[in-house]
Structure 1
């Protein structure tokens, strides 16, 4: 983990309750060549994957709606968020993870998705790397109800909405989840519905 611009890294675990909160003290070499001591905390919640499900014939996308406590305590009045399907890797490859999550959350069984981006969503404080996918779906692929895994205390509403409406919800701020915004913009820029 040490490289030419940081040295003498000290690591302390501050919390290991839900995920892991780490504290790092280290020496950092500034652009002028001098060294300074810095202290940073980073939250490790594991890497994840997310997918925008789209149907070009119907011109629709499948999104989810669920309660997100961190948004509630930071001004999201009811805590509900409209998002693309997503989940933590938990030892799976990104593709294996997202195919599993699609079935659990939406009830659709896809066999193929395409990775389009890899992002660090909040690089100043969260270690998570997020793999972003798109996947074409058809009605025949709906084999379960969806709604999330009960053992994960998920209570997910599945939304199938017109792509243009999703873009409108993004423009008006009703869709504010970063991974969802990026994937909707990816679909728009790359002409998935052209």
Structure 2
């Protein structure tokens, strides 16, 4: 390990010349995927040494080697794998007059393989930003998944959902809706393999379901609790 006064040279790993996503484009036209993080300078206790591209099938898996200076002043070399799927947005759709919320139910294989009984999760509408800004993206996702043409949006907060391994930052929103704003059937985009059920629930029932495990999705729990504590259904 280098001493505290040493200078660490920043380098990349040496990929195969033909490895897609490095010097040559992958199937999505991306290059230099092995260079993310090499220019970070915001934390003087962290020196990125090398970035290795492990996979880029759709999202990107990297292994990064860096030197980290602990509180005792010693430098320790560490490695971390990060999964980069881009950033996302989610929205709690609520009807203040009828005291309801509009959620979705869809199959999630990762939770199914990790012990969920059937993999069918109740969730707030959400999706990746892709090339859009957060507000544009969540309007698109709400329309696709629930059929709601969203009007006024309220920014709630941003959060990193799994900071130990996933780079995604999620932008949280809330928006009122009325039955008249459900201009489409929702259900997601069939061409993308989405098969989404739209579920309208009394807000009180949805909040109670966070304690029974019937609502077990983190972003949805966070939005429902926000709505109860600080949002449209807070007790004054």
Which digits, 9 at most, give the CA deviation of each residue in 1:154-174, with x for residues without a partner? 000000100011011111011
Distance 1:71 1:48 in 2: 19
Distance 2:231 2:222 in 1: 14
Tell whether 2:55 aligns with 1:9: no
Distance 1:169 1:8 in 2: 43
Distance 1:135 1:118 in 2: 16
1:49/1:191 CA distance change after superposition, 3 Å: closer
Which of 49, 67, 79 does residue 119 from structure 2 map onto?
79
Q: Which structure is higher in strand share? A: 1
Which of 34, 46, 70 does residue 30 from structure 1 map onto?
70
4+ residue runs over 2 A deviation:
none
| Shift in Å, 1:191 | 4.5
Which digits, 9 at most, give the CA deviation of each residue in 1:98-149, with x for residues without a partner? 0011100000101321110100000000000000000000111011100001
Q: Which protein, 1 or 2, shows the higher relative CO under an 8 Å CA cutoff with sep ≥ 6?
A: 1
Unaligned runs of at least 5 residues, structure 1: none
Distance 1:147 1:160 in 2: 13
Higher alpha-carbon Rg: 2
Query: Matched residue of 1:181: which SS?
Result: helix
Unaligned runs of at least 5 residues, structure 2: 1-39
| Shift in Å, 1:18 | 2.5
Work out the number of aligned pairs and report it: 194
User: Please, what TM-score do these two structures have when normalized by structure 1?
Assistant: 0.97
Distance 2:226 2:137 in 1: 21
Query: Matched residue of 1:111: which SS?
Result: coil
Q: CA RMSD in A?
A: 0.9
Distance 1:13 1:113 in 2: 38
Tell whether 2:82 aligns with 1:45: no
User: Please, what TM-score do these two structures have when normalized by structure 2?
Assistant: 0.80
| Shift in Å, 1:8 | 4.0
Distance 1:93 1:68 in 2: 25
Residues 1-194 of structure 1: matches in 2 within 5 Å? 1-2=40-41, 3-193=43-233, 194=235
Distance 2:152 2:212 in 1: 32
| Shift in Å, 1:151 | 1.9
Contact 2:91 2:138 in 1 (8 A): yes
